[in-house]
Amino acid sequence: MNLLIMGAPGSGKGTFSSRLKDNYKLAHISTGDIFRKNIKENTALGQEAKSYMDKGLLVPDDLVNRLVLDTLQNLPDGAAGYLLDGYPRTLEQAKAFDEATKGTANEVETVLYMDVPHEVLNKRILGRRTCPKCGEIYNIYFKPTKEENICDSCGNELSYRADDNEESLKTRLHEYDSMTQPVIDFYAAQDKVTTIDADNDFETIWDQIQKALAK
Ligand code: AMP
């Protein structure tokens, strides 16, 4: 089973990627994770990717395309397919990947699009608070603490990520939409997209995903 998972920041993509990988024995390929690992290990690929990532830019299509195709050549034994996460990110990447894999065992079968309204993403991301001491995660809208801004578990003051502010989130979501919509349209034209109503609880979302993949 060869899958793509797409979804904006805060859509729950990470959580469901992990469940999908375990449940369907897929090789989880996250291009962002591969770049971060290479940067940490200071490889040539890492050095090249870092120069773009540090500026908040996308890594050039050609480099990402080669990386993904190479990774697919070396899937771990026993993988029943792949779950691509973070790729393709542009229409050019989608076209190149399609051309390279069409009619082969690596052709994309299903695209799972984790759809969550912007106002919910806003609350999920902007409402997120973590305890710097014990790591407990809260949300002022969905999982508030008993006492405002104080960790229920250890009594420490909570903190939030500096880049989780309204203005930067608006830009990130806008960028995400404008880049991914053409990719979704490209796969929709091949009848490969399943939209998951991801503004739901875990089990309801998982149920939708399983039904979509059983088809
Ligand atoms: P992510 O963890 O998916 O948000 O990716 C982190 C960063 O890695 C992005 O901001 C890009 O700079 C780079 N990156 C990851 N995937 C891609 C991709 N498919 N195309 C271009 N750049 C990518």
Express each pLDDT in 4-30 by its tens digit.
999 998 899 989 999 999 999 999 999
Q: Is the CB of 87 under 6 A from ligand 1?
A: yes
Residue 65 CA, ligand 1 centroid: distance in Å: 12
Q: What is the pTM of this model?
A: 0.88
Inform me whether the pLDDT recorded for 139 exceeds 80. yes
Q: Residue 167 — pLDDT band, cuts 50, 70, 90?
A: confident
Q: Is the CB of 59 under 6 A from ligand 1?
A: yes
Please tell me the predicted confidence (pLDDT) of residue 163.
Answer: 67
Residue 145 CA, ligand 1 centroid: distance in Å: 33
Residue 61 CA, ligand 1 centroid: distance in Å: 10
Return the residue whose CA atom lies nearest to atom 15 of ligand 1. Answer: 32
Winning range, highest mean pLDDT, from 33-37, 99-103, 126-130: 99-103
Inform me whether the pLDDT recorded for 34 exceeds 70. yes
pLDDT (average), residues 117-145? 93
pLDDT (average), residues 191-212? 96
Note whether 198 and 115 are within 8 A (CB): yes
Please tell me the predicted confidence (pLDDT) of residue 57.
Answer: 86
pLDDT (average), residues 134-157? 95
**Structural domains present in the chain:** 2-118+179-214 (3.40.50.300)
Please tell me the predicted confidence (pLDDT) of residue 87.
Answer: 96
Q: Is the CB of 97 under 6 A from ligand 1?
A: no
Q: Is the CB of 2 under 6 A from ligand 1?
A: no
The set of catalytic residues is 13, 89, 128, 161, 172
* Residue linked to tokens 């407990």: 136
Return the residue whose CA atom lies nearest to atom 1 of ligand 1. Answer: 32
